[in-house]
Amino acid sequence: MHAQEVTYKEAGFGNALPLGKSPAILVVDFSYGFTDTTYPTAADMSEQILRTRTLTDIARAKTIPVIYTTIAYQPWERDHLTWLKKASGMKDLLVGTRLTEIDARTGIEPTDPIVVKHGASAFFGTNLMSLLTSAAVDTVVVCGATTSGCVRATAVDAVQCGLSVLVPSDCVGDRAVAPHEASLYDINQKYANVVDCDSVLSWLEQL
Amino acid sequence: MHAQEVTYKEAGFGNALPLGKSPAILVVDFSYGFTDTTYPTAADMSEQILRTRTLTDIARAKTIPVIYTTIAYQPWERDHLTWLKKASGMKDLLVGTRLTEIDARTGIEPTDPIVVKHGASAFFGTNLMSLLTSAAVDTVVVCGATTSGCVRATAVDAVQCGLSVLVPSDCVGDRAVAPHEASLYDINQKYANVVDCDSVLSWLEQL
Amino acid sequence: MHAQEVTYKEAGFGNALPLGKSPAILVVDFSYGFTDTTYPTAADMSEQILRTRTLTDIARAKTIPVIYTTIAYQPWERDHLTWLKKASGMKDLLVGTRLTEIDARTGIEPTDPIVVKHGASAFFGTNLMSLLTSAAVDTVVVCGATTSGCVRATAVDAVQCGLSVLVPSDCVGDRAVAPHEASLYDINQKYANVVDCDSVLSWLEQL
Amino acid sequence: MHAQEVTYKEAGFGNALPLGKSPAILVVDFSYGFTDTTYPTAADMSEQILRTRTLTDIARAKTIPVIYTTIAYQPWERDHLTWLKKASGMKDLLVGTRLTEIDARTGIEPTDPIVVKHGASAFFGTNLMSLLTSAAVDTVVVCGATTSGCVRATAVDAVQCGLSVLVPSDCVGDRAVAPHEASLYDINQKYANVVDCDSVLSWLEQL
């Protein structure tokens, strides 16, 4: 075992969260601004989208909630929010533009919930937790983009909120390999169970 | 320039946040549970503590708020909070134990604010933002432990809250080098200005 | 002095909050669903709208932020949110319907911020506080509808957030007199300075 | 029916929230500062405390969570928080003083959770919702003091969070009759089911 592994194990990290009985699938920012590589803010998410769709298909069949998120700014938010001074590329994600639409390859349906985010976390400044509580959800499966950005920030908030959290590593993607892998490591040690799509499928099937 | 740098630059990340006029120094989890290496959850933070103290000393001289945080659980929180099932080492941080006391090397004084955290972020489930708003703070300097855990989660929430954020890289520490460096990279690209202690000192002096 | 007044005074309520230097005008739910009496959820707000407009006119002239709120549900929120089981009339406030549009008599302009609320408070589950912090606002003037519902809940959250709060009593309205007056009493004792429109105008003019 | 009743009914208020299966009893601010009439901030809560105790006794017998709240300020909070400039009597509620201790007549036990509040709502700036989610609670019974202050603010936040909410009118008290009754009316119309202690007892017994 590497020294780092020993250190983390001794510090008590990396345990598996117990799964609940009432999950939701949370699809973070699979909007064209993050998935269509003609935009500078995007990366190729084709495989992650396809695999995520296998999860949302079975969830729909079992009436498990599927919730999408998108970043979409009003013009006045764009002009003022502090975060957009750091991450200025996000300013392109204006309400009403194609960049904020959920990628059709996800299989999103017209009546699906879309939570509008304003920052990295899907929970911060949104009504997401109230929706999950209203539906008695105890476990969230976090898919989407990007691993080191919005997926990680969402996983941190989800477990802080008291939810169990699963992150299927082949359903989340990033703009570069190193931040993707570093964040999956941290997420698995501290915030969520990093698993793969197939194991989530098996779990959903037997619920 | 590396491919990753080009990708991030084109995506509009890595800009410098403009600094405000009314800062606070936020010292995250320099409690013995994280700084005294006789505890398995701790790491050697000696140099980071000393450098952070140069910042808090000048802040006090200029009546700039200095706020410490600690993780300290009630027994009933320890038994129930979902996060502690993932990060079970944090269960040792019980209210009233030495692990939850701020390291005396920080120079903390009896009347200094100590915000009790329950998760990774100093903002989540705490009164911190109300304190900062009541004091009209517009910029936070985040020091402390650990870079890839509570410091990063705190920086993410700070900028989401609308604050400008500085993270002096030599005032934050971690249990291992790789997560420390990977998180500093992400923080600088997306959430805060990663700087060094000396540049923060210069800025504070001329305020 | 009435016994109740004595009791409250001895308990230390009813002090005046000190005003800040950087206000925003918050216009709560002057949408047709609350202002057009052809809808069962509405009440006559004509005079309150006119007086609020005198505040927003001078605010614009002085580049003081003016922020409107509206309640507007996605179909899936309407089907699930717990609050809508209690207050089922709010279910009519569907995104895209006239009930969710801000009343034109307010003088709202196309580029004005509209924060979409999901419950009573304009702060709960929204990005409002991040917007105010990003703009360095320290004081909010809360106008709108209804006094005993969304105005009161918004004032409670505003002061809890660390903001100073003014509620001009002639710029807020309700469906019935008794709840309006009872809430103004409580608000003035515990959460905000209840004043009149003219005094706010004078204060804004001299800023 | 009074005109006001007709107006509220037509606006769709006053429906009964459906009860969940997993309740918690939330006892708001039955600390000596609110219950011992030798303090100016207190009122006589003897009967409300006795009735609340019948609820917490049965809850304990059924391993239903019982959570107490208290307001308890650090000295630095007391000096800075905006709310304390409005409600200056609350400044006496200093950490470590008898005013912040839960009244022994409640039957509180040493291992019971006590959430430290900083404002009116038990949810604002606290870890309460994370505790409830970690325990899979879907319904809260709100008892305590005062009806028009902390009880009401807590009920508003509870339903906004997606919880079902019961307020037994004979388990909540206030400093004066008029605000008590006006708030019970508003709470029942808009935020919670206002019931009596006996009906909650019956419901808890058959769970």
**Is B19 an interface residue toward C (CB < 8 Å)?**
no
For residues B84-98, average pLDDT: 97
Report pLDDT for D152: 98
Is CATH 3.30.1330.10 the classification given to domain A20-162+178-205? no
What gap in Å lies between CA D38 and CA D36, rounded to an integer? 5
Is pTM beyond 0.90? Reply is: yes
Q: What would the 3-class secondary structure string for D106-170 be?
A: HCCCCCCCEEEECCCCCCCCCCHHHHHHHCCCCEEEEEEECHHHHHHHHHHHHHHCCCEEEEEHH
For residues B161-186, average pLDDT: 97
CB contact under 8 A, A17 and B82: yes
Subunits next to A (3 or more Cβ pairs <8 Å) are B, C, D
**Is C4 an interface residue toward D (CB < 8 Å)?**
yes
- φ, ψ of residue C80 to 5 degrees: the values are -120, -30
For residues C67-71, average pLDDT: 98
Report pLDDT for D2: 84
The full set of domain ranges for chain C reads: 21-205
Query: Domain C21-205's class?
Result: alpha beta
Report pLDDT for B1: 61
N-term to C-term CA, chain B = 35
Interface of D with C in 51-110 (CB under 8 A): 81-83, 85-92
CB contact under 8 A, B119 and D130: yes
- Active-site residue, C197 included: no
Residues of C in contact with B134 (CB under 8 A): 162
What gap in Å lies between CA A32 and CA A34, rounded to an integer? 5
CB contact under 8 A, A87 and B190: yes
What is each CA distance from D16 to A134, A178, B131, C42, C76, in whole angstroms?
Answer: 15, 53, 37, 22, 21
Q: Does pLDDT of D26 surpass 70?
A: yes
The two most distant CA atoms of chain A are separated, in Å, by 52
Report pLDDT for C35: 98
Q: pLDDT exceeding 90 applies to what percent of chain D? A: 97
- φ, ψ of residue A10 to 5 degrees: the values are -65, -30
What gap in Å lies between CA B151 and CA B156, rounded to an integer? 9
What gap in Å lies between CA B128 and CA B113, rounded to an integer? 10
For residues B31-41, average pLDDT: 97
Quick one: which of D183, D195, D64 has its CA closest to D120?
D183
For residues A6-17, average pLDDT: 95
Q: pLDDT exceeding 90 applies to what percent of chain C? A: 97
Q: Does pLDDT of C98 surpass 90?
A: yes
For residues C132-146, average pLDDT: 97
Report pLDDT for B2: 84
Per-residue confidence at A63, pLDDT binned at 50, 70, 90? very high
Q: pLDDT exceeding 70 applies to what percent of chain B? A: 100
Q: Is D164 in contact with D200 (CB distance < 8 Å)?
A: no
Report pLDDT for C1: 61
Q: Does pLDDT of D78 surpass 70?
A: yes
Q: For the structural domain made of D29-201, what CATH number should be given?
A: 3.40.50.850
pLDDT in tens, A89-145: 999 999 999 999 999 999 999 989 999 999 999 999 999 999 999 999 999 999 999
ipTM surpasses cut 0.90: yes
pLDDT in tens, D127-175: 999 999 999 999 999 999 999 999 999 999 999 999 999 999 999 999 9
CB contact under 8 A, B138 and C138: no
CB contact under 8 A, C129 and B163: no
Q: Does pLDDT of C37 surpass 70?
A: yes
Find the residue in B nearest to D85 (Cα): B134
**Is D158 an interface residue toward A (CB < 8 Å)?**
no
CB contact under 8 A, B83 and A192: no
Report pLDDT for A1: 61
> In angstroms, what separates the C-alpha of B76 from chain A's closest C-alpha?
14
Per-residue confidence at B55, pLDDT binned at 50, 70, 90? very high
Q: pLDDT exceeding 70 applies to what percent of chain D? A: 100
3-class SS at B184?
helix
What gap in Å lies between CA A170 and CA A167, rounded to an integer? 9
Report pLDDT for D10: 93
Which residue from A20, A131, A161 is facing D130, i.e. has the nearest CB? A161
Comparison of pLDDT for D186 and A2, the residue scoring more: D186
